[in-house]
Structure 1
Amino acid sequence: MPGEYDSDDDYKYKFVLNTPNLQELKYKEVAPEIYSVNKLNACVKADISFFQGDGRVHDGSMEKLAIAEFVERICRVQWLYLSDNLMQFYRFPLPKFDHLTYLELGYHRTVQWKMLLDFVQSSPRLETLIFGGLAKEGNQTTSRWYQLEHIPSCLLFHLKIIEIKQFSADSHELKMAEYFLNNSRVLEKLIIHPVCLPDWGKLEICEKVLMLPRRSRTCRVEVLPEMDDEDEDDIFVPDP
């Protein structure tokens, strides 16, 4: 049963969901200011895109708090997609995703490195990680680089597939690729889609990434054509 949203006289959006046996949730609507959602313990798959009428999430504290609490309610899912708009301003500590095996974070380059590491740390059973790329302003990566003191357990025991949909191969993204290849013990595949580059530039990216050391002996690196917005709907998505 889908959730419902409506608005009161003050045009505050309200999201109400009382379906304790719900197994799959897809929400692509306005970011709510008021909501009532029970913890979805039976939910295994969630596809969440929040935005306002002008196509983006506003920075209002009510919306931020509602989204953070909403993510808390779906922390038992096995499959999770979070939209670019949500990733751009999510600033709250993440809950523990103890059952999560598939995680996709938007399509464009909107993920901060810290947020990416937070998700990896919070998802001990993660097997598939897909994201657009590190957040940028113009051609500059805005993510501050750092490494964790301990390697997340999913990298040591579970993570098999990483896909980066808009890979620019700047110094930060090459460090990111090196970090994953160096620390992912059972990684089977790193898939990258170079973005906004001529053929010779893409060949240079291939050479740089292929030269990076790999901890997993079975890992292969695949460099695929650049994706456009229409390709987003064609990505293979396994069922949980």
Structure 2
Amino acid sequence: MCKTLVVLKVKSNCITYAPPTSSSFPSLKFLDVKVDYPEDDSVEKLFTCCPVLEDLSIDATIRDALILSFKVSAPELKRLRMTFFSDMIVGKDFLYDISINAPKLENLDIKHDNLSVYLFENLNSLVKGRVDLYYHYGQYWDDEVSERATVLREAFSNVKCLSISAHFVEEGCLPAFDHLTELKLVLYDCYHWDLLTELLEKSPNLESLVIEHKKDEECVKNYDETESYSKDVLYSENRWSTPPICLISHLKTITVRGFEGYPHVKKVAKYLLNNGKVLTKMTVYNDELYKELMLERGSRSCWVELV
């Protein structure tokens, strides 16, 4: 019932909360909750008693349910981070049902192990987004999953800064990112270069690009690396006969890290460097790739840095 508390951090293996009828924390602006196996809507009841809440972080491990319904409705909320992980065997039929209504939300950070059902309302103030979905769907991808992915992607269509680290992102149904100026794309061992192609095509005002590679054993199990890489690079090269607008007029910095010196990585890096007419700097983290790029330039003012 504290009336002056501004910051509250809670870490527990169990949270049960029955709020009073009046506001419990009228001054609380920062709430950080880490909980294992939340019961029913106990966590939801906790933060709904905070009328001036501006920063909410939820880190939860879920079990004993195939569907978790979770609602966030906060009129003053500016930053929301949600990390949900299930200790069950994640499969096609497991999902979270998440609803967010936050008209002043500026920063949304989602890290989930499964692509779930999302309902977004009043996200007109959103300027920065991060999506990390770390479950690999493989053969489970279908029309229903595709629809969920589309809803999630469209929620970030007006942001200026976006980070995507997910297997769920498929080429062909991305929205236009007309306001996007900073993009970070994390690709896995089963990555598709045509996704990068479409992101560049739909981000005409992009100024900063980071491409990062992470290893994923599930990808290695389900994909033939050589065939996938060759196919995707060839497809992207065919589509890139005309460079995306952002490469010609806006893109100034590019960072490529985490990749080995594969031929397909060199091809993509060379293409970006040769066609980046206003590039000022490309940073790479691979010595072999750095040597390949030393003689490539589309912009006289651009320089390549090895880190």
Scaled to the shorter chain, the TM-score interval is 0.7 to 0.9
CA distance in 1, matches of 2:145, 2:186: 19
- Correspondence 1:46 to 2:107: no
Is the contact made by 2:256 and 2:285 (CA closer than 8 Å) also made in structure 1?
yes
Corresponding residue of 2:149: 67
CA distance in 2, matches of 1:103, 1:110: 20
Q: Greater shift after overlay, 94-103 or 11-20?
A: 11-20
Distance 1:120 1:127, change over 3 A: same
Whichever structure has more strand as a proportion of its residues is 2
- Correspondence 1:125 to 2:125: no
Gaps (5+ residues) in structure 1? 195-201, 225-240
Select which of 174, 180, 189 maps to 1:100: 180
- Correspondence 1:150 to 2:242: yes
Larger Rg: 2
* TM-score (structure 1 length as normaliser): 0.75
- Correspondence 1:20 to 2:103: yes
**CA shift at 1:34, angstroms?**
2.4
CA distance in 1, matches of 2:302, 2:182: 18
CA distance in 1, matches of 2:172, 2:122: 18
Corresponding residue of 1:180: 272
**For 1:179-198, what aligned pairs fall within 5 Å after superposition?**
179-194=271-286
- Correspondence 1:7 to 2:68: yes
CA distance in 2, matches of 1:122, 1:18: 27
Is the contact made by 2:190 and 2:225 (CA closer than 8 Å) also made in structure 1?
no
CA distance in 1, matches of 2:233, 2:265: 11
Select which of 234, 257, 260 maps to 1:165: 257
CA distance in 2, matches of 1:130, 1:106: 8
**For 1:132-147, what aligned pairs fall within 5 Å after superposition?**
132-133=212-213, 140=226, 141-142=229-230, 143-145=232-234, 146-147=237-238
Q: Percent identity at matched positions? A: 27
Q: Give CA deviations for 1:139-172 in whole Å, capped at 9, x if unaligned.
A: 6335232242422111111101111112323222
CA distance in 2, matches of 1:77, 1:163: 20
After superposition, the CA RMSD in angstroms is 2.9
**CA shift at 1:41, angstroms?**
2.2
**CA shift at 1:22, angstroms?**
1.1
Distance 1:133 1:106, change over 3 A: closer
Q: Greater shift after overlay, 132-141 or 28-37?
A: 132-141
**CA shift at 1:111, angstroms?**
3.6
CA distance in 2, matches of 1:188, 1:26: 30
- Structure 1 outlier segments of 4+, above 6 Å: 3-6
Is the contact made by 2:158 and 2:179 (CA closer than 8 Å) also made in structure 1?
yes
Gaps (5+ residues) in structure 2? 1-54, 61-66, 70-92
